[in-house]
Amino acid sequence: MDFYALKAKTINGKEFPFEELKGKVVIIVNTASKCGFTPQFEGLEKLYQKYKNQGLEILGFPCNQFGSQDPGSEEEIEEFCQVNYGVSFQMFAKVEVNGKNAHPVFKFLKKEKGSLLGSSIKWNFTKFLVNPEGQVEERYAPTSTPEKMEDKIKDLLLEATAS
Angle at 110 between CA 104 and CA 114, to 5 degrees: 175
Q: Which of 35, 56, 81, 91 is catalytic?
A: 35
Using an 8 Å Cβ cutoff, are 21 and 57 in contact? yes
13 torsion bin: left (phi>0), alpha (psi -120 to 50), beta (else) = left
What is the C-alpha separation between 97 and 65, in angstroms, rounded? 8
Using an 8 Å Cβ cutoff, are 8 and 96 in contact? no
Reference 144, options 52, 10, 63, 47; nearest CA is 47
**81 belongs to the catalytic site:** no
β-strands 127-130, 25-31 pairing: antiparallel
β-strands 25-31, 56-62 pairing: parallel
Q: Annotated active-site positions, please?
A: 35
